[in-house]
Chain A
Amino acid sequence: GAGVSQTPSNKVTEKGKYVELRCDPISGHTALYWYRQSLGQGPEFLIYFQGTGAADDSGLPNDRFFAVRPEGSVSTLKIQRTERGDSAVYLCASSLRMATEAFFGQGTRLTVV
């Protein structure tokens, strides 16, 4: 595809359940980013990958959140024991290392009930 693809677009889960959110970056983009956006707020950085490794995971709020990018392309954000406060739009972005812009996907809206 031409852009960053995120699936699912919407996810409703019960409190305490485990969820996985997927991001397919633009082909060839080595850098991949995850952000979280709560209602009325700007996106908040979670983690970014350069290739397969997490170059900066300082934004992950706690150890319930984990992300992987095993082959340097697709990434999965994993949330264990979900809480109602995890409800937000989760955005993924990708870029070339030396590019001036990051390209964002449409996001996954996660609702924890």
Chain B
Amino acid sequence: DAKTTQPTSMDCAEGRAANLPCNHSTISGNEYVYWYRQIHSQGPQYIIHGLKNNETNEMASLIITEDRKSSTLILPHATLRDTAVYYCIVKAGGTSYGKLTFGQGTILTVHP
């Protein structure tokens, strides 16, 4: 699986959009971009995934650049409960089947 690079930490004001970047310049054609987050003392939680088109669900939006070498996870209206470590993962196939390779992620802190 391709390697990902994320900033170590980011801050965001409550109610504002949080934009979390991820670089995956060595991504292959069959590899998807997945995002998980981990709130303190809990297991990771799936957020969203995509291949090349932008994706949106009830939690977030995922914007993937045309060359697929980077992506941005957008939390449109961040709340204090969105404070967590966010992991960008590149994985072959569009299902969860198989191992996930986590990096160190981005610590997002949402401030009042």
Contacts and interface: CB of A to CB of B under 8 A. Distances in A.
B95 interface: yes
A56 B98 contact: yes
Interface string A87-113: 000010101011111111111000000
B97 A97 contact: yes
A59 interface: yes
B42 to A, nearest CB: 6
Given A102-B46, A105-B43, A95 B101 contact: no
Interface stretch (A12-20, A42-50, A69-77, A78-86): A42-50
Interface string B84-112: 01010000001111111111110000000
A31 B100 contact: no
A95 B97 contact: yes
Contacts of A40: 104
Report, as a range, how many residues of chain B touch the other chain. Answer: 20 to 34
Contacts, number: 62
Given A41-B104, A42-B87, A100-B94, A106 B99 contact: no
A111 to B, nearest CB: 15
Given A42-B103, A59-B99, A99-B96, 18 more contacts: A4-B43, A33-B99, A41-B104, A42-B85, A42-B102, A42-B104, A43-B100, A43-B102, A45-B99, A50-B97, A56-B99, A93-B43, A100-B46, A101-B46, A102-B46, A102-B100, A104-B44, A106-B43
